[in-house]
Structure 1
Amino acid sequence: MKKTVQILLGGAFFFTSCQWMGNPVPSEKELLEKQIKEINWKEVDVYPSIADCEALTDATQKKQCFFEFLSATIQQKLSIDTLKVLFPKLDTIEVKITVNPDASLEFEPQFPRDTVAYDTIKIDSILKVKLVDFPKVHPAIKRGIPVKSQFILPVIIKSEQ
């Protein structure tokens, strides 16, 4: 009787273990490739931010706070400049802002491809001189790692009247 039970249990174990062997375990490389394909590389988990916006808990409000801060700061830095004098018809500049993983900022004006009305080199040099000494910016985060993020921000150049 004991032998029969042992044989039945052994056979059951043998057949169920064969079932587990039928499904190959994916390799580490296959798992990594699958995870990489699932990642949305166009979106970050946490947008760049500044200390004043960190108190906000809602991600949308935090993002809006950051963009409003950048826009207001750039407008303030450019309002005391000669841009309005040199280019009186220029009312808005689109600025490509890059927040690097080391929290450094880069600014690059964006002009339409057919722009000949403005001296783009002069505007670029004015922006590079004026857009310095920004408060510390926390970079964007993707899967727990600081990453480079870029966006284009329209900046209205206010006239002093």
Structure 2
Amino acid sequence: MKKICFFLFLLILTSCEYFNVKKTSSEIILKEELESFNWNDVDEYPSFPFCDSSTTKEERKVCFQETLTMHITGFLEQEVIVVTQDINDTISLYFEASKEGELSLLKSKIDSLTINEIPNIETLFSESLKTLPKIFPAIKRGQQVTTVFELPIVIQVVD
């Protein structure tokens, strides 16, 4: 009986280490969370109301990009643009979709030939955004967030 009690006593002494609870400070938890947080991706991309019928995140992203591209190119097609030489250029437009659902043009990368032929092209891009339908902002962890994205637009004008 003494051997069993001695054995149980040793077992209890050595097993106490397994029952220790390690305290973790909130700063350490926050630091670990921030390190694992992907700042370059959102849970849901910005979208238009009619893109909500798309089932996957990628489909909604493509719907948003295609709708925005079609809207801008449709606006440009209605404008009378006179050029002296053919233009075939891919323009990179950088947009910001605010958490309030407002879309604004931040900057654009346009070839110098295109700028010489169509000096008001950036103004036309900005004007086209005024007639956009309502935009739902991007969502990250249940919160509406501001996002910045690039959209290539192909410009083809034949004189």
- SS of the equivalent of 1:49 reads coil
Task: Tell me the equivalent position of 1:85.
Answer: 82
SS, match of residue 144 in structure 2: strand
Distance in 1 (alpha carbons) for counterparts of 2:150 and 2:17: 58
Tell me, which stretches of 5 or more residues in structure 2 are unaligned? none
1:101–1:139 Cα contact (<8 Å) kept: yes
Mapping 1:33-72, distance limit 5 Å? 33-72=31-70
In structure 2, distance between residues paired with 1:124 and 1:102 = 23
Per-residue Cα deviation, 1:64-106 (whole angstroms, up to 9, x for no partner): 1111111101111121124x32575444432212111110000
Q: Check conservation: 1:104, 1:137, Cα contact below 8 A.
A: yes
Q: Which of residues 130, 135, 144 is equivalent to 1:146? A: 144
**1:123 Cα deviation after fit:** 2.3
CA distance in 2, matches of 1:87, 1:67: 31
One-letter code aligned to 1:68: E
CA RMSD of the aligned region, Å? 3.1
Q: How many residues align?
A: 151
1:85 aligns to what SS in structure 2?
Answer: coil
1:35 is matched by which residue type in structure 2? E
| Partner residue in 1 for 2:29 | 31
How many angstroms apart in 2 are the aligned matches of 1:57 and 1:109? 31
- 2: CA distance, partners of 1:160 / 1:111: 21
Residues 135, 160 of structure 1: alpha-carbon distance in 2 compared, 3 angstrom cutoff: farther
Q: Given the superposition, is the C-alpha separation of residues 160 and 103 from structure 1 closer, same or farther in structure 2, using an over 3 Å criterion?
A: farther
Distance change >3 Å, CA 103–CA 160, structure 1 → 2: farther
Percent identity of equivalent pairs? 26
Shift of 1:110: 1.6
- Aligned to 2:149, the other structure's residue is in SS state strand
Q: Which amino acid aligns with 1:99?
A: A
- Structure 2: which amino acid aligns with 1:148? T
Alpha-carbon distance in structure 1 between the residues aligned to 2:106 and 2:76: 14
